[in-house]
Structure 1
């Protein structure tokens, strides 16, 4: 998650985690109810917990829930999710 999806984590934390000024985010853990992140805001690392929409009971559900959070974050910012911008290398909303 951290190496391949750093921009996605940042987008999720900026919108769903209530940290619009975050400059960096990395996943630090998860359980059946949510995901934990370490988020850099104004040069200070703060913990952020984002609850899942529903309790996770199987490993395969984790990816589905993270994708849902990512799409919800994109929708909140009015930017197309990555699947909709397949031919673009830019990541709107992450300046």
Structure 2
């Protein structure tokens, strides 16, 4: 399992958890936790991302979601997350936000 340097992982997690909290929810709701009320990205590597999810009944769990494209470089992470988000919007029948 290929990992990224800690500074890259930390920067991506910080960005996702401060600027994309709603996107995190959309992603996890479409990927197995439809009653999620909170989702925090906690880890990532070349194979996928991990979110800590809290459900409406206050149950917490970790959800691992694989990327749908190869991820080898930092720029690939953004592409992979955007694809997860857009796919999640389609699955949930919601309009994706504009970038």
Which TM-score band applies after superposition, normalised by the shorter structure? 0.7 to 0.9
2:72 is aligned with 1:73: no
2:49 is aligned with 1:35: yes
Alignment partner, residue 2 of structure 1 = 17
TM-score (norm 1): 0.83
Q: Measure, in 1, the Cα distance between the counterparts of 2:65 and 2:94.
A: 20
TM-score (norm 2): 0.80
More helix by share: 2
For 1:19, which of 16, 33, 44 is the aligned residue? 33
Count of aligned positions: 83
What are structure 2's unaligned runs of at least 5 residues? 1-15
Q: CA deviation at 1:79?
A: 1.1
Q: Measure, in 2, the Cα distance between the counterparts of 1:33 and 1:82.
A: 25
Q: CA deviation at 1:36?
A: 0.3
What are structure 1's unaligned runs of at least 5 residues? 87-95
Deviations 1:28-83 (A, max 9, x none): 01000000000001202101000001331111000011000000011111111101
Q: Which runs of 4+ in 1 moved over 3 A?
A: none
Q: Measure, in 2, the Cα distance between the counterparts of 1:37 and 1:77.
A: 18
